[in-house]
Amino acid sequence: MRERPWPGGLRRPPNPLVSGHRAVRGALRSLSESLGARRRLAWLNAADLSIGTTLDVRRTAEELADFTVPELADGAAVDLLDSVLRFQDGDRTPVGGDAPRLRAMAVSEVDGLNLAPDPVGELTVHTADRLGQRCLTTRRPVLVSRMTRSDFAVIAPSRESSDIMRRAGVHSYLAVPLIARGVLLGLADFVRAGHRAPFNRTDVALAMELASKAAVYIDNARLYGRERDHVVTLQRALLPRSAPSTPGLDVSSCYDPAADPAAVGGDWFDVVALPSGRTALMVGDVMGRGLAAAATMGRLRTVARTLMALDIAPERLLARLDLAARDLEEDQVATCLCAVYDPCGGTFRIASAGHPPPLLTGPDGTVSFLEVPAGAPLGTGVIPYDPVERPVPERSRLTLYTDGLVRSRATDLGTQLERLREALGGGVPEDGTVCRAVSERVGGDRSDDAIVLAALARPLGPDCDVYVRELPPDGKAAGQARAAVREQLRRWDLEELVDTTELVVSELVGNALRYGNAPGELRLLRHERLSVEVSDSGPDLPQIQHADVSDESGRGLQLINMMCRRWGSCRTPGGKVVWAEQDLPVRAGAPGPR
């Protein structure tokens, strides 16, 4: 009913009482809005302290969901694109074509709501009819203030979940995209239920502001995880993938990367097969972190393998590694421990460049640290290195490790070393799981890479035989060596190789007499192949020479090179050895050489 105008077209004079009430309500509304804005601002500021406390993607998603319940919503869920979790670049362009693949990362609800959302960790697909798909495609929030019956079907992940939401009294829905640095990471969706007011435009703005903050934290965790994944992948690629044949030794190893990608990259180990059944064990630690340390580690390991093929004396290996380390990055140093095992004498020859001492576990289970002179780290220029030679009985285990295994922020080094010694005591398995078991027993809050390398001395198996004989330092050596070869190969049922091996050993002994002062020891090893080795005290390693047609000598190594699978020479603590390998005859039903 319209108000009747006063005579002369004049308006009714305002009622002072009504105007006063309106003014008071307006002032109270402004004060309430001001207080609400301040509260929302304080709540958003508190998000910086509650979200992103770790650099773990899942934990950050959980912190986002927990922070919004119950202040913003009665239920919250965070889903991330599967590509983000696989450390890819995410989606920089709007999602189109195939439905996006998301993985449920976090769910939070008020007590008693029980909405049955997507199980955490499961892969879900938001099809075109889902509101989540619209949020991801448009990169804009989706708001359903008051849900109707048809809305439940396009919000809930399944029909069963739709019925559960409706019975729980859910009446309002809000989904916001998670975008950081232009990369779409996923979405967060929220619901309200019961007598709570539905979402409004103010809630949308608040949720978007919170989502932009949380997305940066999630992206930081994603980049952090991707960096760690890259460094660990590089680290593992530079470490040996499989152990070579090690006669007389059972070798086990394990590598535990640090949780912090900035701490990954410096530790390395290697197992190198040497002539006539010897085995070299090496562990090292580059004093650096990240990709630079991993690259330096890879170069040092490559140099060490090359040098070990030329010189099996660990002390000289470390001296040459020191020279190589000085040519690498400035101020880049590393520790290293090298042990060479000879199955004939059952001995380890060990040298250390500033590395923690190894442990020896006896057959009776007693564990002790070996006293190895700790030389200066590689790259410092302080050489030479002093070796120790230690005979070890069968069923003894030598354990090498890096300092990341015993370094702890909460426990002193002495306590950790004692814990390691106890971990290697009784009850340690003798199979390939020994290193993992030791690493788990030591435990602690490690913040660095950790490597454990264990070698168990055992008797030579039935498929491995060694023959050793001292040769006289005169012209009788060649005849005695040929006779020994004939007799031993017949015992080993290798008559097919007698003629070739006699010729090879004659050439090796002749070179030792002519260029190596005198032959020392003849060694035959039958394992996966037949190896012939002759030692002498000469310093020069033999090389194949070009022989003219008129030359009467210089073709011995050429013949060995043609008749044998491979041959080589390397220095030893007392001189050098020259060796040659031949493939074993393939027996009926027996596998060929690897």
pLDDT at 6: 46
Q: pLDDT band for position 381 (50/70/90)?
A: confident
Of 410 and 590, which is predicted with more confidence? 410
Q: pLDDT band for position 487 (50/70/90)?
A: very high
pLDDT at 295: 77
Distance CA 218, CA 544 (A): 62
pLDDT at 315: 93
pLDDT digits (tens, 9 = 90+) for 331-353: 678 899 999 999 888 899 999 99
Q: Which helix (H) or strand (E) holds 529?
A: strand 529-536
pLDDT at 554: 58
pLDDT at 224: 82
The full DSSP string for 303-343 is HHHHHHTTB--HHHHHHHHHHHHHTSSTT--EEEEEEEEET
Q: What are the C-alpha distances in Å from 331 to residues 267, 286, 328, 557? A: 17, 11, 9, 43
Return the ∠ at Cα 439 (arms to 437 and 445), rounded to 5°: 140
pLDDT at 330: 59
Indicate if the pLDDT at residue 95 is higher than 50: no
Q: pLDDT band for position 1 (50/70/90)?
A: very low
pLDDT at 496: 92
pLDDT at 61: 93
Query: How would you write 167-188 as a 3-class SS string?
Result: HCCEEEEEEEEEEECCEEEEEE
Average pLDDT, rounded, for the chain: 82
pLDDT at 12: 52
pLDDT digits (tens, 9 = 90+) for 10-69: 455 555 544 555 554 554 444 444 557 788 888 888 888 899 888 888 999 999 999 999
Q: pLDDT band for position 503 (50/70/90)?
A: very high
CA dihedral 320, 359, 430, 349 (to 10 degrees): 40
Both tokens assigned to 265: 């990259």
Q: Which range, 96-105, 196-205, 323-332, is most confident?
A: 196-205
pLDDT at 9: 47
The model's pTM: 0.69
pLDDT at 336: 93
Q: Which range, 125-139, 206-220, 395-409, 545-559, is most confident?
A: 206-220
Question: Considering only CA atoms, which of 265, 403, 234, 262 is closest in space to residue 329?
Answer: 265
pLDDT at 89: 59
Instruction: Using DSSP, state whether 528 is helix, strand or coil.
Output: coil
pLDDT digits (tens, 9 = 90+) for 253-300: 888 876 665 556 678 889 998 888 899 999 998 887 767 777 788 888
pLDDT digits (tens, 9 = 90+) for 155-203: 887 788 888 888 889 999 999 999 998 889 999 999 999 888 999 999 9
The percentage of the chain sitting over the pLDDT mark of 90, rounded to a whole number, equals 33
pLDDT digits (tens, 9 = 90+) for 382-415: 888 999 999 999 889 999 998 888 887 777 788 8
